[in-house]
């Protein structure tokens, strides 16, 4: 969204719209619209118009808005704008140390191979995130097929940790954590960050409450779902 004066841009607010993933068997009308409100800037002499820019961006009542990268000083403003916290912080998981539960067969997702256990929107989600450098993984158990997206964070070209960008549920991630962790550890990544309200049972790791996530709307993203957000697409 752009704020301009006399044909000149003087402010900008980045918004990323997407439909929530449709799980296999869910009706299409259960896919709420999301908008990840990302970076913004208004030139100092036009800062008085900043609230109007934000109000214009947040005007849709049918959209759930998310803010995943707030700083402490901005959080009172988010509350004034109607945001609520939907995750208290980041759980830094060590999935390779998780105890094995069921037999799990893991394979990287390949768009050219049909995956009957996935919905059309999940297949599109995996393919899109592979294009942004994420790991898209399929874990198959005796009971179901589960898709996962893990977004590596890189420094100097080396993956030092990652974010869980998509899973159907935290229970499915815990169930498949060990093979996912081993797969990533072989690629130099030992830690996966997951937005939650606290520690995750049966998953080794450390919770920190200094990176809360906020939303405004009727459909907060479930834990472990950062699909189509700035943190995944831009590595922020």
Say how far apart CA 159 and CA 163 lie, in whole Å: 11
C-alpha distances (whole Å) from 134 to each of 76, 155, 207, 235 are: 33, 15, 23, 10
Every domain range in the chain assigned CATH 3.40.630: 90-211+223-233
Q: What pLDDT is recorded for position 203?
A: 96
pTM: 0.89
CA dihedral 56, 77, 198, 128 (to 10 degrees): 30
Architecture of domain 90-211+223-233: 3-Layer(aba) Sandwich (3.40)
Q: What is the DSSP letter of 32?
A: -
For CA atoms 108, 111, 113, 117, give the dihedral sign: positive
pLDDT for 158: 55
Cβ of 103: how many Cβ atoms within 10 Å?
Answer: 9
Q: What is the DSSP letter of 135?
A: E
pLDDT along the chain (236 residues), means of 10: 90 92 71 89 90 88 94 90 95 93 88 86 95 95 93 70 95 95 93 96 95 94 94 82
Please tell me the predicted confidence (pLDDT) of residue 159.
Answer: 61
Q: Give the per-residue pLDDT at 77.
A: 87
Round to whole Å and give the CA distance between 220 and 229: 13
Over the stretch 133-156, which tens digit does the pLDDT of each residue have?
A: 999 999 999 889 999 999 998 665
């Amino acid at each position: 969204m752009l704020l301009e004066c006399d044909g000149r841009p003087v402010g900008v607010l980045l918004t990323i719209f997407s439909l929530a993933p449709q799980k296999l068997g869910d009706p299409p009308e259960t896919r709420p619209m999301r908008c990840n409100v990302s970076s913004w800037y208004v030139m100092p002499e036009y800062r008085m118009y900043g609230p109007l820019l934000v109000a214009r961006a947040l005007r849709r009542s049918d959209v759930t808005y998310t803010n995943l990268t707030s700083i402490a000083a901005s959080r009172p403003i988010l509350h004034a704008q109607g945001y609520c916290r939907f995750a208290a912080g980041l759980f830094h998981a060590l999935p390779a140390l998780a105890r094995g539960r069921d037999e799990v067969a893991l394979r990287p997702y390949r768009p050219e191979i049909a995956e009957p256990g996935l919905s059309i929107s999940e297949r599109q989600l995996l393919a899109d995130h592979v294009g942004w450098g994420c790991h898209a993984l399929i874990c198959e158990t005796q009971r179901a097929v589960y898709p996962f997206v893990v977004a590596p964070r890189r420094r100097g070209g080396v993956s030092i940790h990652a974010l869980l960008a998509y899973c159907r549920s935290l229970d499915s991630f815990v169930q498949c954590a060990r093979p996912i962790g081993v797969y990533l550890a072989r690629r130099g990544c030992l830690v996966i960050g997951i937005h939650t309200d606290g520690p995750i049972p049966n998953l080794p790791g450390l919770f920190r409450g200094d990176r809360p996530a906020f939303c405004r709307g009727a459909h907060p993203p479930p834990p472990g779902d950062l699909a189509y957000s700035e943190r995944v697409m831009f590595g922020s």
